[in-house]
A and B are shown apart, each in its own frame.
Chain A
Amino acid sequence: MDVPVEVRDIVARAATFESVGNNAGAQAGYLDAMQRLGQRASVFRGTLYINLGTNAQDAGWLDDAATFFRRSIELLEGERGEAHLQCAHAHFNLAHLLLHTDDPAAPAHAAEASKRYHANPFASPVDRANAAMLSVLCSLFILNQGEERTLRAAWEELSTVNAPELNRQLLKNFLLNWLGFNRRAHLGDFPDVQRAVRHWLGNLSFEGPVAELLQS
């Protein structure tokens, strides 16, 4: 990855801006780095677009964020090695963003992220579990399709990782559906499911409907 040191410096400075909430400064830095790279280092630029996307998402510039994630996928698509994993992150971020806007493209991006995370040996189990939850939620909210098989597979995937490491927003919505489904479909086994979820969550607590489902 042929990236000059001064560009790495600019990116490091922009990342610092992003971490302290200076989203405009961070975006300017990332775009400056992008301009200096020109057509070189496409994998690095693809990764940089992910940074631009997450930064724009934090700032509330959702249209910009979706554009940046799509640009990242264009650059990383078909690449292997590190780019393969980064492309999975881009698909995941885009699917997560599109889920909030009820965009019909969300399920396809979630499925692609999940597929890539499962194929790549460097993908973290936490990323795989987050992608599994996102796929389920996209099917439920956008396609209005909910299958017991996919819900169960997602639960098995995420129950192998530490609950606090998962995306809390996705986890809350997933648990609402997982517990709700079990109460509706398998009332006899529901106390066992509740116990298993409570044991897995440990000290992690939720308020509102999830808490009610866990206690009922």
Chain B
Amino acid sequence: MCWSREPSPTGEWVYRGQAARHRTIVPLLMRPGLHERHVVRGLFDIDYDVARMLRDASPVFGAGALHPVIDDAAGTAMESLSAMLGGAPSAHPDVSFAELMRALAQHYDYPTFFIDVSFHPLVSALFASHHAGSDGYYRPSDEDGTLYRWPVERRSARRCRIRGETGGERFELGVIDIREVHALARRPSTQHAALATPVHDPKPIYQPFQTPIDRLECVDMGALDCCQRFELPPCAGHTLAERTGANLTGLRPDRIDLGHSYLAVIALLSLTIHRPEHVDGEMASRLQKIFDTTVNAARALLDRECFRLAPGVDVTAQARRMALVDVQSAIHLQAEAARRAVEYMGTHDGTAQVQSRLEAKRDRLQELATMRFDAWKKAVREVKGDAAAQALGEGPRYTVARGEHDWVVAEIDRRLARVEPILDTADWLPLWAVEHASQAGDLRAVLNTDEAYEDTLRAQARANRSTIEALARFAR
């Protein structure tokens, strides 16, 4: 590990660790199956409005406490322009809310186009030398591991870049630094997290469709000439854990991680609730009411999580306004409604109806883009000729394949399964009360408690604390 003390030619390194049998470093969403399902169906997307509502109302993450994001007028304008063009506002020194949410989604196991990297070599070494068990927890692995690192140039407090060459081409990959994330979003915070963006979408601007996977450009970060690698011997995980005291349970907590709770709820809601955008009249007001009820239920649940996990945070009015039994009903019923809607989409009538709605949506998008799109085509024709301009008009059509609904229902169930434990623990003893038993006397009489549950929480909290201490020691 001695090369970790060599100075970076650019001033800083970012690291990544993975099992040696994985030969390339590409994002999960670049796998063809996942790409078609998540990206083309738009299912990987977080509903940013819902996410924003939940963040702003949070007694812990509200008022910019989750992580600083772009909030000046020029930056916001740049952010919406970039979103319209299908990219991130990488020229701005701050990260956008969408980038932040996707970065967090990546950390909490929802696939994105990001690659997790860390500013801390020990974090990456631990990931290189551990493997995930069927229960989701990481244990020391018997396999070889590889630790990679890249020199990064800092562009601002929250943006860096990696410059390198592969296959005779030069690339510049963006890296966002989210180490300032709130400490109760424990995974990214403990992991000294940064996210690299090796995927580039070369689609012509104003093209309003999702780009198919074979047109996306993805750089294998391990193949860049600036990448250095270090092989870890088999069983290095045992040695590392023993010598440093850091471990993967501490780096990847879940039930004591407020960020995990927020992302689990946001991911489920992104798939199950919809604003009444294409309907009018009574149906619109009914759907709006369902939407509001479900968002309020999510707020009540997450406010309970804040009370459970953050010392000193009082129970909010929203958590008091909605009984837990109503929260559970609202979330389950909405998931069931979404399942039924997806199953209906699988029928012939449903397919036809959804197809026509998607085509109408596409027509509206095209109409909006036409003026600027024509201007762009004209400019391209002048520079590159007619063939290139005609190619700009091509794009994949929205289609709803029958049979796909099984997978979408499975995805709803997968996301609901992550929210279930949060619903189950919502009326248990607060973690801070477990840690400071002397303050918990009154609460123990009224809140549920369970020895096994408390033991799990204590073990997770202990692992988390010892990992943070070990990482701090290593950094010194």
Contact = CB atoms under 8 A, between A and B. Distances in A.
A120 B442 CA distance: 9
Interface in B280-333: 304, 307, 314-315, 317, 319-321, 323-325, 328-329, 332-333
Interface residues of A, number: 22
A12 B293 CA distance: 13
Contacts of A9: 333, 336
B321 A44 contact: no
Most chain A beta carbons < 10 A, residue from B307, B315, B426, B427: B427
A204 interface: no
Instruction: Assign chain B's interface to a size class.
Output: 20 to 34
A121 interface: yes
Contact of B449 (A8, A80, A85, A120): A80
Nearest to A1: B328
A86 interface: yes
Provide the main secondary structure of the chain A interface: helix
Contacts of A206: none
B329 A81 contact: no
Contacts, number: 60
B428 interface: yes
Contacts of B417: none
A82 B324 contact: yes
B469 to A, nearest CB: 31
B447 interface: yes
Contacts of A116: 446
B320 A122 contact: yes
B448 A44 contact: no
A84 interface: yes
From B304, B329, B445, residue with most partner A Cβ within 10 Å:
B329
A123 B329 contact: no
Contacts of B314: 121
Interface in A84-143: 84-86, 116, 119-125
Nearest to B325: A47
B443 interface: yes
Interface of B: 304, 307, 314-315, 317, 319-321, 323-325, 328-329, 332-333, 336, 426-428, 442-443, 445-449
19 contacts: A8-B336, A9-B336, A11-B329, A12-B333, A47-B325, A80-B427, A80-B445, A80-B448, A80-B449, A81-B446, A81-B447, A86-B325, A116-B446, A119-B445, A121-B307, A121-B447, A122-B324, A123-B320, A124-B320
Which 6 interchain pairs have the tightest Cβ spacing?
A81-B427, A81-B448, A124-B320, A82-B324, A80-B448, A82-B427
